[in-house]
Protein backbone atom coordinates (compact mmCIF):
# COMPACT_ATOMS: atom_id res chain seq x y z
CA UNK A 1 0.00 0.00 0.00
CA UNK A 2 1.14 3.52 -0.68
CA UNK A 3 0.97 6.60 1.50
CA UNK A 4 -1.37 8.32 -0.93
CA UNK A 5 -4.16 6.14 0.40
CA UNK A 6 -5.17 8.67 3.02
CA UNK A 7 -4.71 11.91 1.14
CA UNK A 8 -7.87 13.36 -0.17
CA UNK A 9 -7.80 13.59 -3.94
CA UNK A 10 -8.12 17.12 -5.25
CA UNK A 11 -11.44 17.23 -7.04
CA UNK A 12 -14.09 19.74 -7.91
CA UNK A 13 -16.74 19.59 -5.16
CA UNK A 14 -19.57 17.45 -6.38
CA UNK A 15 -22.79 19.46 -6.21
CA UNK A 16 -24.91 16.99 -8.11
CA UNK A 17 -28.29 16.84 -6.45
CA UNK A 18 -29.91 13.63 -7.46
CA UNK A 19 -32.92 12.69 -5.40
CA UNK A 20 -36.26 11.04 -5.53
CA UNK A 21 -38.98 13.64 -5.21
CA UNK A 22 -42.57 12.72 -4.55
CA UNK A 23 -45.28 14.75 -6.14
CA UNK A 24 -46.58 17.21 -3.55
CA UNK A 25 -50.20 16.70 -2.62
CA UNK A 26 -50.53 19.51 -0.04
CA UNK A 27 -50.72 23.18 -1.07
CA UNK A 28 -46.99 23.73 -0.57
CA UNK A 29 -45.12 26.78 0.65
CA UNK A 30 -46.81 30.05 1.36
CA UNK A 31 -46.56 32.62 -1.48
CA UNK A 32 -45.84 36.21 -0.44
CA UNK A 33 -48.65 38.68 -1.07
CA UNK A 34 -50.70 35.81 -2.50
CA UNK A 35 -53.65 37.30 -0.67
CA UNK A 36 -53.80 40.22 -3.12
CA UNK A 37 -53.64 38.25 -6.39
CA UNK A 38 -57.39 37.62 -6.66
CA UNK A 39 -58.56 41.14 -5.74
CA UNK A 40 -55.95 42.71 -8.05
CA UNK A 41 -57.11 40.53 -10.92
CA UNK A 42 -60.74 41.53 -10.29
CA UNK A 43 -59.74 45.19 -10.28
CA UNK A 44 -57.82 44.72 -13.53
CA UNK A 45 -60.79 43.11 -15.27
CA UNK A 46 -63.05 45.90 -14.00
CA UNK A 47 -60.64 48.59 -15.30
CA UNK A 48 -60.20 46.96 -18.69
CA UNK A 49 -63.94 46.43 -19.03
CA UNK A 50 -64.68 50.08 -18.24
CA UNK A 51 -61.88 51.40 -20.46
CA UNK A 52 -62.98 49.39 -23.48
CA UNK A 53 -66.60 50.27 -22.91
CA UNK A 54 -67.62 46.66 -22.28
CA UNK A 55 -68.93 47.72 -18.86
CA UNK A 56 -71.30 50.65 -19.28
CA UNK A 57 -71.17 53.39 -16.59
CA UNK A 58 -74.90 52.91 -16.00
CA UNK A 59 -74.23 49.29 -15.05
CA UNK A 60 -71.05 49.87 -13.06
CA UNK A 61 -69.04 53.07 -12.76
CA UNK A 62 -65.44 52.93 -13.87
CA UNK A 63 -62.82 52.56 -11.12
CA UNK A 64 -61.49 56.10 -11.72
CA UNK A 65 -65.01 57.55 -11.47
CA UNK A 66 -65.36 55.74 -8.17
CA UNK A 67 -62.10 57.30 -7.03
CA UNK A 68 -63.42 60.75 -7.94
CA UNK A 69 -66.69 60.02 -6.13
CA UNK A 70 -64.66 58.83 -3.14
CA UNK A 71 -62.75 62.12 -3.07
CA UNK A 72 -65.98 64.08 -3.38
CA UNK A 73 -67.61 62.14 -0.55
CA UNK A 74 -64.51 62.47 1.59
CA UNK A 75 -64.20 66.25 1.12
CA UNK A 76 -67.84 67.34 0.82
CA UNK A 77 -69.96 64.70 2.58
CA UNK A 78 -68.00 63.55 5.61
CA UNK A 79 -67.17 60.07 4.31
CA UNK A 80 -64.80 59.52 7.23
CA UNK A 81 -67.63 60.26 9.65
CA UNK A 82 -69.78 57.70 7.88
CA UNK A 83 -67.02 55.10 7.99
CA UNK A 84 -66.42 55.68 11.67
CA UNK A 85 -70.14 55.48 12.43
CA UNK A 86 -70.42 52.17 10.57
CA UNK A 87 -67.28 50.72 12.07
CA UNK A 88 -68.39 51.65 15.55
CA UNK A 89 -71.78 50.06 15.05
CA UNK A 90 -70.43 46.81 13.69
CA UNK A 91 -67.62 46.66 16.27
CA UNK A 92 -69.96 47.11 19.23
CA UNK A 93 -72.44 44.64 17.79
CA UNK A 94 -69.75 42.14 16.85
CA UNK A 95 -68.04 42.32 20.24
CA UNK A 96 -71.34 41.80 22.00
CA UNK A 97 -72.21 38.88 19.73
CA UNK A 98 -68.79 37.24 19.94
CA UNK A 99 -68.57 37.41 23.73
CA UNK A 100 -72.12 36.16 24.20
CA UNK A 101 -71.72 33.43 21.59
CA UNK A 102 -68.45 32.19 23.07
CA UNK A 103 -69.76 32.21 26.65
CA UNK A 104 -72.92 30.37 25.63
CA UNK A 105 -70.86 27.85 23.65
CA UNK A 106 -68.60 27.10 26.63
CA UNK A 107 -71.55 26.74 29.00
CA UNK A 108 -73.48 24.54 26.62
CA UNK A 109 -70.35 22.60 25.67
CA UNK A 110 -69.33 21.79 29.23
CA UNK A 111 -72.62 21.22 30.99
CA UNK A 112 -75.37 18.89 29.87
CA UNK A 113 -77.87 21.06 31.73
CA UNK A 114 -76.56 24.18 30.00
CA UNK A 115 -76.75 22.41 26.67
CA UNK A 116 -80.37 21.45 27.22
CA UNK A 117 -81.20 25.08 27.96
CA UNK A 118 -79.09 26.87 25.37
CA UNK A 119 -78.56 24.64 22.37
CA UNK A 120 -82.23 24.27 21.36
CA UNK A 121 -83.07 27.98 21.28
CA UNK A 122 -79.90 28.77 19.32
CA UNK A 123 -80.62 26.10 16.73
CA UNK A 124 -84.17 27.46 16.40
CA UNK A 125 -82.87 31.02 16.19
CA UNK A 126 -80.47 29.84 13.50
CA UNK A 127 -83.27 28.71 11.25
CA UNK A 128 -85.12 32.02 11.63
CA UNK A 129 -83.40 34.63 9.43
CA UNK A 130 -82.28 37.48 11.65
CA UNK A 131 -83.37 39.95 9.03
CA UNK A 132 -86.92 38.68 9.42
CA UNK A 133 -86.82 39.55 13.12
CA UNK A 134 -85.88 43.17 12.51
CA UNK A 135 -89.49 44.41 12.37
CA UNK A 136 -90.01 42.83 15.79
CA UNK A 137 -86.82 44.45 17.10
CA UNK A 138 -87.98 47.80 15.81
CA UNK A 139 -91.16 47.32 17.83
CA UNK A 140 -89.12 46.41 20.92
CA UNK A 141 -86.10 48.66 20.74
CA UNK A 142 -87.23 51.42 18.38
CA UNK A 143 -85.35 52.47 15.29
CA UNK A 144 -82.34 53.87 17.10
CA UNK A 145 -78.84 52.63 17.68
CA UNK A 146 -79.96 49.97 20.19
CA UNK A 147 -81.89 47.99 17.60
CA UNK A 148 -79.00 48.18 15.16
CA UNK A 149 -76.38 46.94 17.61
CA UNK A 150 -78.59 44.13 18.92
CA UNK A 151 -79.36 42.92 15.41
CA UNK A 152 -75.66 42.84 14.53
CA UNK A 153 -74.84 41.09 17.81
CA UNK A 154 -77.49 38.46 17.24
CA UNK A 155 -76.44 37.81 13.67
CA UNK A 156 -72.77 37.34 14.60
CA UNK A 157 -73.52 35.29 17.72
CA UNK A 158 -74.71 32.24 15.82
CA UNK A 159 -71.54 31.32 13.86
CA UNK A 160 -69.40 31.93 16.95
CA UNK A 161 -71.62 29.67 19.01
CA UNK A 162 -71.81 26.89 16.42
CA UNK A 163 -68.09 26.73 15.67
CA UNK A 164 -66.85 27.22 19.23
CA UNK A 165 -69.25 24.56 20.46
CA UNK A 166 -68.16 22.23 17.69
CA UNK A 167 -64.46 22.88 18.38
CA UNK A 168 -64.94 22.37 22.08
CA UNK A 169 -66.75 19.07 21.67
CA UNK A 170 -64.02 17.98 19.28
CA UNK A 171 -61.33 18.19 21.97
CA UNK A 172 -59.89 14.73 22.58
CA UNK A 173 -61.44 13.24 25.71
CA UNK A 174 -58.04 11.96 26.82
CA UNK A 175 -56.98 15.53 27.65
CA UNK A 176 -59.93 15.85 30.01
CA UNK A 177 -58.85 12.56 31.57
CA UNK A 178 -55.33 13.85 32.01
CA UNK A 179 -56.66 17.03 33.60
CA UNK A 180 -58.66 14.89 36.03
CA UNK A 181 -55.57 12.95 37.12
CA UNK A 182 -53.66 16.19 37.60
CA UNK A 183 -56.34 17.42 39.94
CA UNK A 184 -57.12 20.89 38.65
CA UNK A 185 -60.34 22.76 39.26
CA UNK A 186 -63.03 23.65 36.77
CA UNK A 187 -61.72 27.15 36.10
CA UNK A 188 -58.22 25.90 35.32
CA UNK A 189 -59.67 23.18 33.12
CA UNK A 190 -61.58 25.78 31.09
CA UNK A 191 -58.59 28.08 30.86
CA UNK A 192 -55.88 25.54 30.02
CA UNK A 193 -57.73 22.82 28.15
CA UNK A 194 -61.15 23.93 26.92
CA UNK A 195 -60.41 27.41 25.61
CA UNK A 196 -57.14 26.61 23.79
CA UNK A 197 -58.68 23.42 22.43
CA UNK A 198 -61.75 25.24 21.13
CA UNK A 199 -59.71 28.14 19.73
CA UNK A 200 -59.42 26.79 16.16
CA UNK A 201 -63.21 26.44 16.06
CA UNK A 202 -63.69 29.86 17.59
CA UNK A 203 -61.46 31.49 14.99
CA UNK A 204 -63.34 29.82 12.17
CA UNK A 205 -66.56 31.09 13.73
CA UNK A 206 -64.95 34.51 13.95
CA UNK A 207 -64.39 34.61 10.19
CA UNK A 208 -68.08 33.94 9.62
CA UNK A 209 -69.11 36.33 12.37
CA UNK A 210 -67.15 39.22 10.87
CA UNK A 211 -68.88 38.90 7.52
CA UNK A 212 -72.23 38.30 9.23
CA UNK A 213 -71.83 41.50 11.20
CA UNK A 214 -71.22 43.42 7.98
CA UNK A 215 -74.33 41.87 6.47
CA UNK A 216 -76.28 42.99 9.52
CA UNK A 217 -74.72 46.43 9.22
CA UNK A 218 -75.86 46.85 5.62
CA UNK A 219 -79.41 45.97 6.53
CA UNK A 220 -79.80 47.98 9.73
CA UNK A 221 -78.27 51.08 8.21
CA UNK A 222 -81.18 51.26 5.82
CA UNK A 223 -83.44 51.95 8.75
CA UNK A 224 -83.47 55.56 9.83
CA UNK A 225 -79.72 56.02 9.91
CA UNK A 226 -78.29 59.54 9.89
CA UNK A 227 -74.73 58.41 9.40
CA UNK A 228 -72.92 55.34 8.15
CA UNK A 229 -72.05 53.71 4.86
CA UNK A 230 -75.52 52.22 4.51
CA UNK A 231 -76.99 55.68 4.97
CA UNK A 232 -74.67 56.98 2.27
CA UNK A 233 -75.77 54.21 -0.10
CA UNK A 234 -79.45 54.84 0.63
CA UNK A 235 -79.01 58.51 -0.21
CA UNK A 236 -77.08 57.70 -3.39
CA UNK A 237 -79.84 55.28 -4.38
CA UNK A 238 -82.38 58.10 -4.16
CA UNK A 239 -80.26 60.40 -6.32
CA UNK A 240 -79.24 57.69 -8.75
CA UNK A 241 -75.50 58.06 -8.03
CA UNK A 242 -74.09 54.67 -9.07
CA UNK A 243 -70.53 55.79 -8.40
CA UNK A 244 -71.33 56.63 -4.77
CA UNK A 245 -73.07 53.28 -4.33
CA UNK A 246 -69.92 51.59 -5.61
CA UNK A 247 -67.83 53.66 -3.17
CA UNK A 248 -70.00 52.27 -0.37
CA UNK A 249 -69.71 48.72 -1.68
CA UNK A 250 -65.95 48.99 -2.01
CA UNK A 251 -65.70 50.22 1.57
CA UNK A 252 -67.83 47.29 2.79
CA UNK A 253 -65.56 44.99 0.81
CA UNK A 254 -62.45 46.51 2.34
CA UNK A 255 -63.94 46.22 5.83
CA UNK A 256 -64.65 42.54 5.33
CA UNK A 257 -61.36 41.81 3.65
CA UNK A 258 -59.28 43.52 6.33
CA UNK A 259 -61.25 41.93 9.14
CA UNK A 260 -60.91 38.48 7.62
CA UNK A 261 -57.17 38.96 7.09
CA UNK A 262 -56.82 40.09 10.68
CA UNK A 263 -58.60 36.98 11.93
CA UNK A 264 -56.52 34.69 9.72
CA UNK A 265 -53.29 36.38 10.71
CA UNK A 266 -54.22 36.06 14.39
CA UNK A 267 -55.09 32.44 13.75
CA UNK A 268 -51.67 31.67 12.28
CA UNK A 269 -50.03 33.32 15.26
CA UNK A 270 -52.00 31.76 18.08
CA UNK A 271 -52.24 28.34 16.47
CA UNK A 272 -48.48 27.93 16.04
CA UNK A 273 -48.73 24.67 17.97
CA UNK A 274 -50.54 23.02 15.10
CA UNK A 275 -48.85 21.27 12.27
CA UNK A 276 -51.30 21.57 9.42
CA UNK A 277 -51.46 22.18 5.69
CA UNK A 278 -52.07 25.87 6.48
CA UNK A 279 -48.29 26.23 6.93
CA UNK B 1 -48.28 -5.45 56.18
CA UNK B 2 -44.90 -4.52 54.93
CA UNK B 3 -42.07 -3.63 57.24
CA UNK B 4 -39.68 -0.77 56.78
CA UNK B 5 -35.91 -0.72 57.28
CA UNK B 6 -36.22 -0.45 61.06
CA UNK B 7 -38.50 -3.46 61.14
CA UNK B 8 -41.53 -1.35 61.99
CA UNK B 9 -44.84 -2.20 60.43
CA UNK B 10 -45.80 0.43 57.90
CA UNK B 11 -49.06 1.26 56.26
CA UNK B 12 -49.08 0.12 52.63
CA UNK B 13 -49.22 2.91 50.05
CA UNK B 14 -51.92 1.09 48.18
CA UNK B 15 -54.46 -1.29 49.62
CA UNK B 16 -57.10 -2.95 47.50
CA UNK B 17 -59.62 -5.34 48.96
CA UNK B 18 -62.20 -7.47 47.23
CA UNK B 19 -62.26 -5.31 44.12
CA UNK B 20 -64.92 -6.10 41.55
CA UNK B 21 -65.36 -4.31 38.24
CA UNK B 22 -67.42 -5.33 35.25
CA UNK B 23 -68.31 -3.71 31.96
CA UNK B 24 -71.32 -5.89 31.23
CA UNK B 25 -73.51 -8.39 32.97
CA UNK B 26 -71.73 -11.43 31.46
CA UNK B 27 -68.87 -11.44 33.90
CA UNK B 28 -66.43 -9.31 35.78
CA UNK B 29 -63.11 -8.02 34.61
CA UNK B 30 -61.92 -7.85 38.20
CA UNK B 31 -63.30 -10.52 40.50
CA UNK B 32 -62.46 -9.86 44.13
CA UNK B 33 -58.90 -8.67 43.72
CA UNK B 34 -56.71 -8.03 46.78
CA UNK B 35 -53.46 -6.10 46.51
CA UNK B 36 -51.03 -4.24 48.77
CA UNK B 37 -48.19 -2.06 47.55
CA UNK B 38 -45.64 -0.80 50.08
CA UNK B 39 -44.37 2.77 49.98
CA UNK B 40 -41.54 3.01 47.47
CA UNK B 41 -42.20 -0.44 46.09
CA UNK B 42 -42.06 -0.95 42.31
CA UNK B 43 -44.72 -3.41 41.19
CA UNK B 44 -45.14 -4.58 37.62
CA UNK B 45 -48.53 -5.88 36.60
CA UNK B 46 -48.62 -8.37 33.76
CA UNK B 47 -51.26 -10.60 32.29
CA UNK B 48 -52.90 -11.53 29.05
CA UNK B 49 -55.16 -9.06 27.25
CA UNK B 50 -58.47 -8.56 28.97
CA UNK B 51 -57.38 -9.84 32.38
CA UNK B 52 -58.08 -6.50 34.01
CA UNK B 53 -54.64 -4.83 34.19
CA UNK B 54 -55.78 -1.50 32.85
CA UNK B 55 -59.08 -1.76 34.66
CA UNK B 56 -57.21 -2.07 37.96
CA UNK B 57 -54.92 0.83 37.10
CA UNK B 58 -57.83 3.04 36.12
CA UNK B 59 -59.62 2.11 39.32
CA UNK B 60 -56.58 3.19 41.34
CA UNK B 61 -56.35 6.39 39.30
CA UNK B 62 -59.99 7.13 39.98
CA UNK B 63 -60.86 7.15 36.29
CA UNK B 64 -63.52 4.45 36.32
CA UNK B 65 -66.53 6.32 37.66
CA UNK B 66 -68.77 4.81 34.97
CA UNK B 67 -67.70 1.21 35.54
CA UNK B 68 -69.93 -1.02 37.64
CA UNK B 69 -68.46 -2.81 40.64
CA UNK B 70 -67.58 -2.63 44.31
CA UNK B 71 -64.68 -3.14 46.67
CA UNK B 72 -62.34 -1.01 48.78
CA UNK B 73 -59.49 1.09 47.47
CA UNK B 74 -57.02 3.09 49.50
CA UNK B 75 -54.42 5.17 47.67
CA UNK B 76 -52.09 7.98 48.78
CA UNK B 77 -52.97 11.64 48.57
CA UNK B 78 -50.73 12.32 45.63
CA UNK B 79 -51.05 10.04 42.61
CA UNK B 80 -49.63 10.61 39.14
CA UNK B 81 -50.55 8.73 36.00
CA UNK B 82 -48.37 8.10 32.97
CA UNK B 83 -50.41 6.99 29.99
CA UNK B 84 -49.37 5.00 26.95
CA UNK B 85 -49.60 8.16 24.88
CA UNK B 86 -47.80 11.12 26.38
CA UNK B 87 -50.94 13.29 26.56
CA UNK B 88 -48.99 16.48 26.30
CA UNK B 89 -51.43 19.30 25.57
CA UNK B 90 -50.52 20.25 21.98
CA UNK B 91 -51.18 23.96 22.65
CA UNK B 92 -48.75 24.22 25.54
CA UNK B 93 -45.00 24.36 25.26
CA UNK B 94 -43.10 21.48 26.86
CA UNK B 95 -42.29 23.30 30.10
CA UNK B 96 -45.88 24.54 30.45
CA UNK B 97 -47.03 20.97 30.00
CA UNK B 98 -44.69 19.74 32.72
CA UNK B 99 -45.83 22.32 35.26
CA UNK B 100 -49.49 22.18 34.15
CA UNK B 101 -51.66 22.50 37.24
CA UNK B 102 -48.72 23.03 39.62
CA UNK B 103 -49.30 25.77 42.13
CA UNK B 104 -46.99 27.97 44.07
CA UNK B 105 -43.84 29.92 43.40
CA UNK B 106 -40.91 28.14 41.82
CA UNK B 107 -43.12 25.83 39.77
CA UNK B 108 -41.27 26.78 36.61
CA UNK B 109 -37.92 26.10 38.24
CA UNK B 110 -39.07 22.71 39.46
CA UNK B 111 -40.34 21.99 35.96
CA UNK B 112 -37.01 22.95 34.42
CA UNK B 113 -35.23 20.69 36.90
CA UNK B 114 -37.56 17.80 36.11
CA UNK B 115 -36.99 18.28 32.39
CA UNK B 116 -33.24 18.25 32.96
CA UNK B 117 -33.64 15.05 34.96
CA UNK B 118 -35.27 13.29 32.02
CA UNK B 119 -32.64 14.68 29.65
CA UNK B 120 -34.77 17.35 28.01
CA UNK B 121 -32.92 20.44 29.20
CA UNK B 122 -33.04 23.04 26.46
CA UNK B 123 -36.35 21.81 25.02
CA UNK B 124 -38.50 23.84 27.43
CA UNK B 125 -39.84 26.14 24.71
CA UNK B 126 -40.52 23.41 22.12
CA UNK B 127 -44.04 22.50 21.06
CA UNK B 128 -45.00 18.85 21.74
CA UNK B 129 -45.23 18.04 18.02
CA UNK B 130 -41.57 18.98 17.67
CA UNK B 131 -40.50 16.17 20.05
CA UNK B 132 -39.93 12.57 19.06
CA UNK B 133 -42.09 9.85 20.57
CA UNK B 134 -39.48 9.00 23.19
CA UNK B 135 -38.96 12.65 24.09
CA UNK B 136 -42.69 13.17 24.46
CA UNK B 137 -42.89 10.23 26.82
CA UNK B 138 -39.92 11.58 28.81
CA UNK B 139 -41.70 14.93 29.08
CA UNK B 140 -44.77 13.14 30.39
CA UNK B 141 -42.57 11.34 32.95
CA UNK B 142 -41.22 14.73 34.01
CA UNK B 143 -44.79 16.00 34.34
CA UNK B 144 -45.59 13.10 36.65
CA UNK B 145 -42.45 13.25 38.76
CA UNK B 146 -42.42 17.02 39.26
CA UNK B 147 -45.52 16.47 41.41
CA UNK B 148 -43.51 14.20 43.76
CA UNK B 149 -46.22 11.52 43.76
CA UNK B 150 -46.44 8.90 46.46
CA UNK B 151 -47.92 6.60 43.85
CA UNK B 152 -47.00 6.50 40.19
CA UNK B 153 -49.39 4.62 37.93
CA UNK B 154 -48.04 3.79 34.50
CA UNK B 155 -50.21 2.15 31.85
CA UNK B 156 -47.86 0.58 29.28
CA UNK B 157 -45.87 3.81 29.13
CA UNK B 158 -43.30 2.43 26.71
CA UNK B 159 -45.72 0.42 24.58
CA UNK B 160 -45.54 2.79 21.62
CA UNK B 161 -41.77 3.27 21.66
CA UNK B 162 -39.14 1.55 19.57
CA UNK B 163 -36.93 -1.12 21.13
CA UNK B 164 -33.82 1.05 21.58
CA UNK B 165 -35.75 3.92 23.09
CA UNK B 166 -37.45 1.48 25.45
CA UNK B 167 -34.13 0.27 26.81
CA UNK B 168 -33.06 3.85 27.50
CA UNK B 169 -36.42 4.60 29.09
CA UNK B 170 -36.10 1.55 31.37
CA UNK B 171 -32.82 2.85 32.74
CA UNK B 172 -34.28 6.33 33.12
CA UNK B 173 -37.40 5.16 34.93
CA UNK B 174 -35.38 2.92 37.23
CA UNK B 175 -33.06 5.82 38.12
CA UNK B 176 -35.92 8.29 38.63
CA UNK B 177 -37.75 5.87 40.88
CA UNK B 178 -34.65 5.32 42.98
CA UNK B 179 -34.35 9.08 43.42
CA UNK B 180 -37.97 9.93 44.10
CA UNK B 181 -39.09 6.65 45.71
CA UNK B 182 -42.77 6.64 44.77
CA UNK B 183 -44.71 3.42 44.97
CA UNK B 184 -45.09 2.33 41.35
CA UNK B 185 -47.65 0.22 39.59
CA UNK B 186 -46.52 -0.42 36.03
CA UNK B 187 -48.87 -2.19 33.67
CA UNK B 188 -47.00 -3.94 30.89
CA UNK B 189 -47.44 -6.83 28.52
CA UNK B 190 -43.69 -7.35 28.37
CA UNK B 191 -42.40 -9.94 30.84
CA UNK B 192 -38.77 -8.88 30.37
CA UNK B 193 -39.66 -5.26 31.07
CA UNK B 194 -41.44 -6.32 34.23
CA UNK B 195 -38.42 -8.26 35.50
CA UNK B 196 -35.91 -5.58 34.55
CA UNK B 197 -37.80 -2.82 36.33
CA UNK B 198 -39.83 -4.17 39.20
CA UNK B 199 -39.24 -5.24 42.79
CA UNK B 200 -42.28 -7.43 42.49
CA UNK B 201 -44.18 -8.88 39.55
CA UNK B 202 -47.87 -9.59 39.79
CA UNK B 203 -49.64 -11.65 37.19
CA UNK B 204 -53.36 -11.14 36.81
CA UNK B 205 -55.61 -13.85 35.48
CA UNK B 206 -59.40 -13.79 35.29
CA UNK B 207 -59.50 -10.68 37.42
CA UNK B 208 -57.55 -11.92 40.44
CA UNK B 209 -53.88 -12.13 41.36
CA UNK B 210 -52.60 -15.36 39.89
CA UNK B 211 -48.90 -15.09 40.69
CA UNK B 212 -47.09 -12.67 42.97
CA UNK B 213 -43.31 -12.95 42.88
CA UNK B 214 -40.55 -10.82 44.34
CA UNK B 215 -37.69 -10.05 41.97
CA UNK B 216 -34.54 -10.68 43.98
CA UNK B 217 -31.86 -10.52 41.37
CA UNK B 218 -28.53 -8.89 42.06
CA UNK B 219 -27.94 -8.63 38.37
CA UNK B 220 -30.91 -7.71 36.20
CA UNK B 221 -29.31 -8.82 32.99
CA UNK B 222 -31.11 -11.15 30.67
CA UNK B 223 -28.16 -13.50 30.76
CA UNK B 224 -28.57 -14.05 34.52
CA UNK B 225 -29.75 -17.54 35.40
CA UNK B 226 -32.29 -16.19 37.91
CA UNK B 227 -33.67 -13.87 35.26
CA UNK B 228 -34.26 -16.73 32.85
CA UNK B 229 -35.85 -18.84 35.55
CA UNK B 230 -38.26 -16.09 36.58
CA UNK B 231 -39.00 -15.32 32.97
CA UNK B 232 -39.91 -18.89 32.13
CA UNK B 233 -42.03 -19.18 35.28
CA UNK B 234 -44.04 -16.10 34.31
CA UNK B 235 -44.32 -17.04 30.65
CA UNK B 236 -45.52 -20.45 31.74
CA UNK B 237 -48.20 -18.89 33.92
CA UNK B 238 -49.20 -16.71 30.95
CA UNK B 239 -49.69 -19.87 28.93
CA UNK B 240 -46.77 -19.18 26.62
CA UNK B 241 -44.12 -21.86 26.30
CA UNK B 242 -40.74 -20.20 26.88
CA UNK B 243 -38.29 -21.56 24.37
CA UNK B 244 -35.39 -23.27 26.06
**What pLDDT is stored for residue A274 in this prediction?**
82
**What pLDDT is stored for residue B1 in this prediction?**
46
C-alpha distances out from residue A130 to A31, A98, B234, Å? 38, 16, 70
On chain A, the residues whose CB falls within 8 A of the CB of B85 are 174
- Does B18 map to a domain? yes
Backbone angles phi, psi at B92, to 5 degrees: -120, 140
- Does B1 map to a domain? no
On chain A, the residues whose CB falls within 8 A of the CB of B61 are 181
- Does A91 map to a domain? yes
| CA gap B5, A17 in Å, rounded | 67
- Does A19 map to a domain? no
Tens of pLDDT, residues A172-184: 999 999 999 988 8
- Does A29 map to a domain? no
- Does B152 map to a domain? yes
Number of domains comprising chain A: 1
What residues of chain A score a pLDDT lower than 50? 1
- In angstroms, the separation between the Cα of residue B98 and the nearest Cα of chain A is 11
| SS3 label, residue B100 | coil
Determine the residue of chain A that is closest to B149 in CA distance: A182
Assess contact for B125 and B93: CB atoms under 8 A. Answer: yes
- Does B74 map to a domain? yes
Number of domains comprising chain B: 1
Are B63 and A184 in contact (CB < 8 Å)? no
Instruction: Say yes or no: A2 contacts chain B, CB-CB below 8 A.
Output: no
State the ipTM, two decimals.
Answer: 0.85
Are B100 and A180 in contact (CB < 8 Å)? no
Determine the residue of chain B that is closest to A200 in CA distance: B91
- Does B8 map to a domain? no
**What pLDDT is stored for residue B9 in this prediction?**
59
- Does A33 map to a domain? no
- In angstroms, the separation between the Cα of residue B218 and the nearest Cα of chain A is 35
Q: For the whole model, what pTM was predicted? A: 0.80
- Does B2 map to a domain? no
- Does B208 map to a domain? yes
- Does A107 map to a domain? yes
Please give the residue range of the domain that contains residue A140.
Answer: 57-271
- Does B206 map to a domain? yes
Tens of pLDDT, residues B5-56: 555 557 889 999 999 998 887 778 888 899 999 999 999 999 988 888 999 9
Please give the residue range of the domain that contains residue B79.
Answer: 14-238
| CA gap B127, B93 in Å, rounded | 5
Give me the sign of the Cα torsion angle B131, B135, B136, B141. Answer: negative
Are A192 and B81 in contact (CB < 8 Å)? no
CATH number of the domain where residue B42 is located: 3.40.50.300
CATH number of the domain where residue A193 is located: 1.10.3720.10
Tens of pLDDT, residues B178-192: 888 999 999 998 899
**What pLDDT is stored for residue A276 in this prediction?**
67
Mean pLDDT across B233-240? 88
Amino acid sequence: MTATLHTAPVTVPDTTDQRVVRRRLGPGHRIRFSFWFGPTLALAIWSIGSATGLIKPAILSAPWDVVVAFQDQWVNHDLLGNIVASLQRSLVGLTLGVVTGAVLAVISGLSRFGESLIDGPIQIKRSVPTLAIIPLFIAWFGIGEEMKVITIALISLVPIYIHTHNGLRGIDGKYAELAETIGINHGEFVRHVVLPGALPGFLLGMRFAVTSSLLGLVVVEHYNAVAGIGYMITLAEQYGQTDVIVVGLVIYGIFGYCADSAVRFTGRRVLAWRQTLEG
Amino acid sequence: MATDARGLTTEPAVRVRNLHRSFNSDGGVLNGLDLDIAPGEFVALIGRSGTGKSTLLRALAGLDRDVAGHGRIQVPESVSVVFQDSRLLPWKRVLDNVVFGLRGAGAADRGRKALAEVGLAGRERAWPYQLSGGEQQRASLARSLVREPQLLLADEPFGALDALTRIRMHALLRRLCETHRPAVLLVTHDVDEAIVLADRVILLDAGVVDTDVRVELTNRSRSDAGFAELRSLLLDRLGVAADA
